[in-house]
Amino acid sequence: MKRILLLVALLMAGIITYTFACSQGDEKNKPEKGVVIQMNGDLFLKDVADYNNIKEWKFKGDKPVVIDFYADWCGPCRQVAPLMKELAKEYEDKIIIYRVNVDNEKELATALGIQSLPTILFIPRKGEPQAIIGAASKDTFKQAIEEVLLKKPAK
């Protein structure tokens, strides 16, 4: 009888652990709010657009996107990174901010024509992406988010 109870207890513990692990996996598939998400080519294809067919741009996401193309060795990129973190928190319910290391994602960077760093790409739900090339102020990035992504008129 003790063996049966032990077996049932172990089985229940396994089911609970499995259920918890599966629910955690579901959360990983959703973009995080208020943080900058590291992006690779596969994630771009899944959540943004098919970069292999950039001539017929079709955005796949639910929220507008900002993508920070950077490299670890780039000084201006290091200046922009904390600004992107602040903006991700400020606009957490309105946009998603990604970052792409061009040294690791050469195919994606080449397909999108990234030639200078940092390049910040603003992708609205409808319409064509726009870019800011080089480091800029937080106010400049906020203005681009408001006007390009959230379609609020300039002040």
Q: Which of 111, 5, 130, 105 is nearest to 51 (CA)?
A: 111
Alpha helices in 30-116 (DSSP H): 41-47, 75-90, 106-111
Active site residues: 74, 77
Q: Residue ranges of the alpha helices (H) in the chain?
A: 2-28, 41-47, 75-90, 106-111, 138-144
